[in-house]
Amino acid sequence: NAGVTQTPKFQVLKTGQSMTLQCAQDMNHEYMSWYRQDPGMGLRLIHYSVGAGITDQGEVPNGYNVSRSTTEDFPLRLLSAAPSQTSVYFCASSYSGFRPGGYTFGSGTRLTVV
């Protein structure tokens, strides 16, 4: 089925460890983004991309890196995990411009840093 695939769904890390959250979409969407959602709160933008080779920082980029070498993939790397990064992470993609459709979201990754 077409959509956004995020892996893993759950992850527990120790403080200081690094890891990569994977995100892939098969809809040929130009835009891709990573958000984090803390309990009871809205989504905050970490990094986003408007096309392969183009990325930019969002509202809360510190401690995270991204790259976009292909249209399909947009991995998020945690450099040195901290308890403050405990959150649910969503990857999302969409067409560029304002076609009448919003983001398609992945199912989320629930990350706990101990």
Partner 1 sequence: AQKITQTQPGMFVQEKEAVTLDCTYDTSDQSYGLFWYKQPSSGEMIFLIYQGSYDEQNATEGRYSLNFQKARKSANLVISASQLGDSAMYFCAMREGPGTNAGKSTFGDGTTLTVKP
In the bound state with partner 1, the residue whose beta carbon lies nearer, of 17 and 37, is 37
In the bound state with partner 1, the residue whose beta carbon lies nearer, of 75 and 108, is 108
Residue 22 phi/psi, 5° resolution?
Answer: -95, 145
Tell me the closest approach of the beta carbon of residue 89 to partner 1, in angstroms: 12
In the bound state with partner 1, the residue whose beta carbon lies nearer, of 56 and 80, is 56
Tell me the closest approach of the beta carbon of residue 110 to partner 1, in angstroms: 8
What is the C-alpha to C-alpha distance for residues 10 and 73, in angstroms, rounded to an integer? 19
Residues that bind partner 1 (CB under 8 A): 30-31, 33, 35, 41-45, 48-50, 56, 58, 88, 90, 92, 96-98, 100-105, 107-108
Tell me the closest approach of the beta carbon of residue 92 to partner 1, in angstroms: 7
In the bound state with partner 1, the residue whose beta carbon lies nearer, of 18 and 59, is 59
Tell me the closest approach of the beta carbon of residue 52 to partner 1, in angstroms: 13
Strands 104-105 and 87-94: antiparallel
Beta strands in the chain (DSSP E): 4-7, 10-13, 19-25, 31-37, 43-51, 54-57, 64-66, 76-78, 87-94, 104-105, 109-113
Residue 73 DSSP one-character state? B
